[in-house]
Amino acid sequence: MAERKPYLLRLDPEVLEALAKWAADDLRSLNGQIEFLLRNALKDAGRTPRSGPPNATARRRRAS
């Protein structure tokens, strides 16, 4: 499993409460729900992260 990095996220209390309720409904932790939503948003935007070492894409572009 890839290393997980902590990140402080400031949210409006009402947004946090709504996310916590949604997470509970989906049987996820709040953190898991936020990651799930972010991954779906990335996929929908065509920005799904590629697997592999960091900057692998940049190295391939320079080599071409």
Domain boundaries, the chain: 11-45
What contacts 41, CB < 8 A, 6 or more positions away?
none
Structural contact between residues 48 and 42, judged by C-beta atoms closer than 8 angstroms: yes
pLDDT average, residue stretch 27-50: 95
Confidence category of residue 4, pLDDT binned at 50, 70, 90: confident
Reply yes or no on whether the pLDDT at 44 is more than 80: yes
How far from the centroid of its chain's Cα atoms is residue 60's Cα? 24
What contacts 11, CB < 8 A, 6 or more positions away?
19
Each residue's pLDDT tens digit, 10-28:
999 999 999 999 999 999 9
Q: What is the pLDDT of residue 2?
A: 75
pTM score, whole prediction? 0.71
Structural contact between residues 42 and 49, judged by C-beta atoms closer than 8 angstroms: yes
